[in-house]
């Protein structure tokens, strides 16, 4: 496990501290190079979850600000700064009204994307703030979406009321957004993981035990422990929090095969 020096973390860029050499196994290259080395016509998706030691991401009422401390939040903003788009589900927007901007680190704001297949959004959320970043709604085909001026709408097919994660990623790639952060919530990250669409997963564990609350993952039930997913993981210490950098690329390849 490596201990991360956060003193210059907020200003890291590919030209200032982040390597683009895939053979470089030092930190922070080992964390960020997979995102930076995305080839033309390739899509790279990384999921992010911030949770407690006992695997909770919010209280039973949905309150989650903030489980992670300054180091975990800084890492999240660093991730936002190196991707093309950050994606959340409609539930996260309704519950938290997040900004999804880069405020704690250097770098441009990514495109902000909300998955809203059933058009539940009935207010003007912060992600629609016009700050120069692209703002995108992904919704189902056949139902015109009425949103603020300047919002891009991607109409995609649904199956049982849901839009396939693979279709979402391909549509974003077609729109020029190939490095994608799936930021939440738990159901959205879990759906992309279950579909074999996450190349990487960052789980930041805070030194908190809640004892109750909403779980970090929502996956189908299993009967035996040998059905559980055992992941290839590198651990990094971020002050008093732990970052588990999970390599899921084999799952992506298995889905393709």
Q: Identify the three-state secondary structure at position 247.
A: strand
Instruction: Determine how β-strand 232-238 pairs with β-strand 152-156.
Output: unpaired
pLDDT tens digits, residue range 197-206? 999 999 999 9
Q: What integer is the mean pLDDT of 141-167?
A: 90
14 preceded by a cis bond (ω within 30 of 0)? no
Q: What does the buried/exposed string (b/e) look like for 118-128 if buried means 16 or more CB atoms within 10 Å of the residue's CB?
A: eeebeeebebb
What's this model's pTM, rounded to 2 decimal places? 0.90
Determine the Cα–Cα distance for residues 202 and 182; give it in Å rounded to an integer: 10
* Element spanning 233, H or E: strand 232-238
- pLDDT over 60 at 24, yes or no: no
Determine the Cα–Cα distance for residues 244 and 229; give it in Å rounded to an integer: 15
CB of 89 within 8 A of CB of 115? yes
pLDDT above 90 as % of the chain: 59
pLDDT score, position 13: 62
- Burial category of 70 from C-beta neighbours within 10 Å (exposed 0-12, middle 13-18, buried 19 and up): middle
Question: Taking Cα atoms as reference points, which of 93, 108, 55, 83 lies closest to residue 182?
Answer: 83
Residue 82 C-beta-side C-alpha neighbours within 13 Å: 29
pLDDT tens digits, residue range 38-86? 777 789 999 999 999 999 999 998 888 889 999 899 999 989 998 999 9
Determine the Cα–Cα distance for residues 157 and 162; give it in Å rounded to an integer: 8
CB of 218 within 8 A of CB of 190? yes
Q: Look up the CATH superfamily of 32-216+231-256.
A: Dihydrofolate Reductase, subunit A (3.40.430.10)
Q: Identify the three-state secondary structure at position 164.
A: coil
Sign of CA dihedral 71, 72, 74, 78: positive
CB of 90 within 8 A of CB of 122? no
- pLDDT over 70 at 25, yes or no: no
Question: Taking Cα atoms as reference points, which of 47, 40, 41, 22 lies closest to residue 32?
Answer: 22
pLDDT tens digits, residue range 108-143? 999 999 999 998 988 889 999 999 999 999 999 988
Q: Token digits for 132?
A: 């120069």
CB of 124 within 8 A of CB of 148? yes
pLDDT score, position 163: 96
Q: What is the largest CA-CA distance in the chain?
A: 51
pLDDT score, position 182: 98
pLDDT category of residue 175 using cuts at 50, 70 and 90: very high
pLDDT score, position 5: 67
């Amino acid at each position: 496990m490596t201990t991360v020096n956060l003193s210059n973390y907020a200003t890291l860029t590919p030209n200032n501290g982040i390597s683009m050499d895939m053979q470089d196994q030092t930190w922070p290259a080992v964390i960020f190079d997979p995102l930076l080395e995305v080839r033309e016509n390739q899509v790279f998706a990384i999921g992010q979850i911030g949770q407690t030691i006992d695997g909770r991401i919010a209280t039973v009422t949905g309150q989650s600000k903030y489980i992670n401390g300054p180091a975990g939040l800084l890492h999240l903003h660093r991730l936002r700064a190196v991707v093309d788009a950050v994606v959340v589900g409609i539930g996260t927007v309704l519950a938290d009204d997040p900004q999804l901007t880069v405020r704690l680190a250097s770098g441009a704001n990514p495109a902000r994307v909300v998955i809203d297949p059933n058009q539940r959004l009935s207010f003007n959320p912060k992600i629609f703030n016009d700050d120069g970043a692209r703002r995108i709604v992904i919704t189902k085909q056949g139902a015109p979406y009425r949103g603020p001026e300047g919002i891009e709408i991607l109409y995609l097919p649904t199956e049982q009321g849901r839009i396939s994660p693979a279709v979402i990623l391909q549509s974003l790639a077609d729109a020029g957004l190939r490095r994608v952060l799936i930021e939440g919530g738990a159901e959205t990250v879990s759906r992309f993981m279950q579909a074999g669409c996450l190349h990487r997963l960052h789980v930041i564990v805070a030194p908190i035990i809640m004892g109750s609350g909403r779980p970090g993952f929502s996956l189908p039930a299993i009967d035996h422990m040998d059905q559980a997913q055992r992941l290839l993981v590198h651990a990094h210490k971020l002050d008093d929090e732990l970052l588990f950098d999970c390599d899921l690329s084999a799952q992506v390849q298995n889905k393709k095969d």
